[in-house]
Structure 1
């Protein structure tokens, strides 16, 4: 029995789960999807707020493609471990800071996709110029400290920069995307990588991207904000499970 979509907020599609087992299964699916699409390789993490509690599920210090249910950790919002045998990823402070700051955020995906990493290496904000990117707003900002986010102070600085947004690029260190479900956070991460890839292709061809205005992004995001993430997630899961062959 999978997640059930029960409605929308002005920004996001919400997914609910009948049990903690379903939420854990969704986190593991996210680990496989992010690995399949190279949002993560050996490093990266996924976290999810456990509904109705002040606790989160968090992945351990292990490549996401290898994570099992037994590896998942349960932490409170101060980072104290309630369940699980291993150690959380080093950047747990960043996840905790965002969850404390943003009650609407139910999940976070953290990775190092190659095209976003190109912007991260240059500490260059990513402006949005295509449809799916409009889910991210108009500009994805850059946290300009080229270090792992390992302290509470650094995590709070990332949460400050994120504000009410959807994603942050970390200088020399990949990205973080948030969502109101595990699936939504992963879709946001994948849309961010697609945005970066298309813009680098456009710039490499000598074109000048026509960036979205706030009005453009709001209208484009509003056109199909309910079904777009659902449809995308179904595709990403299907491709990861080998149900069809991708052409690129």
Structure 2
């Protein structure tokens, strides 16, 4: 694997970023984390990021170029309106190298209950002490709403939007994709526990901090799994 998650938000070349963004987009589509809607981006440098082309992520073809967006400036023509979420997160968090805006089914269902996944298993530990809920089902189509959402997200790795999907951010786009899968798995465990009617035992903060490790190539192995068979 030549594009594994990195420990910090390093700048990347445009050519490398294009491949990473396309592979991430197709992985999200292949594993049901997006459908017709969703987008992902990779930071290029302190002032720019690359967002995938505005089409269903699973249909993005090898070589299909994304669009460079200024971190401090208006969205270019043809870029989806909710990409302003990415812009506001990049502005506030220089450590962030990649962002995913997804539509995972179980996290969406929990959000309709006014809930986000509790920390019940190992993959959920990366979101301790919990994932914030943006309690508004409307699309983010203006700068003020995007700013308020980014402020609510603060330094969390993810945010759930009520009836409207998930935003995940990490030091690399690869890691943001992995976190998106982890959060949906946490939602799966949450729903299974709710269906059982039995009380679930949450991980303590200490247990979560110990479990949320990056050692042992944990994120790299998940990225390999999610991108296996990709044409690029």
Q: Distance in 2 between matches of 1:202 and 1:216?
A: 19
Matching residue of 1:236: 226
CA RMSD in angstroms, aligned pairs only: 2.2
Deviation track 1:144-198 (CA, whole Å, cap 9, x = no partner) reads 1110112111111111111111000001101000111111000000000000011
Residues 1:202 and 2:193 are matched in the alignment: yes
Matching residue of 2:29: 35
Contiguous gaps of at least 5 residues in structure 1: 7-12, 243-248
For normalisation by structure 1, the TM-score amounts to 0.85
Contiguous gaps of at least 5 residues in structure 2: none
SS class of match (1:185): helix
Q: Distance in 1 between matches of 2:5 and 2:58?
A: 26
Aligned counterpart for 1:191 among listed residues 182, 190, 207: 182
Residues 1:110 and 2:101 are matched in the alignment: yes
SS class of match (2:68): strand
Matching residue of 1:216: 207
Q: Distance in 2 between matches of 1:158 and 1:62?
A: 24
Mapped contact 2:132–2:152 kept (Cα < 8 A): yes
Q: Distance in 2 between matches of 1:213 and 1:117?
A: 25
Matches within 5 A, 1:54-203: 54-68=47-61, 69-80=63-74, 87-203=78-194
For normalisation by structure 2, the TM-score amounts to 0.91
Q: Cα gap change, 1:153/1:162 in structure 2, threshold over 3 Å: closer, same or farther?
A: same
Q: CA deviation at 1:99?
A: 0.6
Mapped contact 1:126–1:141 kept (Cα < 8 A): no
Q: Cα gap change, 1:102/1:16 in structure 2, threshold over 3 Å: closer, same or farther?
A: closer
Higher relative contact order (CA 8 A, sep 6+): 2
Mapped contact 1:3–1:15 kept (Cα < 8 A): no
Counting matched residue pairs gives: 230
Q: Distance in 2 between matches of 1:5 and 1:115?
A: 25
Matching residue of 1:10: none
Q: CA deviation at 1:78?
A: 3.1
Matching residue of 2:3: 3
Mapped contact 2:106–2:191 kept (Cα < 8 A): yes
Q: Name the structure with the higher strand share.
A: 1
Deviation track 1:33-77 (CA, whole Å, cap 9, x = no partner) reads 0000110010000011103x4001012331112234444100101
Q: Cα gap change, 1:5/1:186 in structure 2, threshold over 3 Å: closer, same or farther?
A: closer
Q: Distance in 1 between matches of 2:99 and 2:169?
A: 5
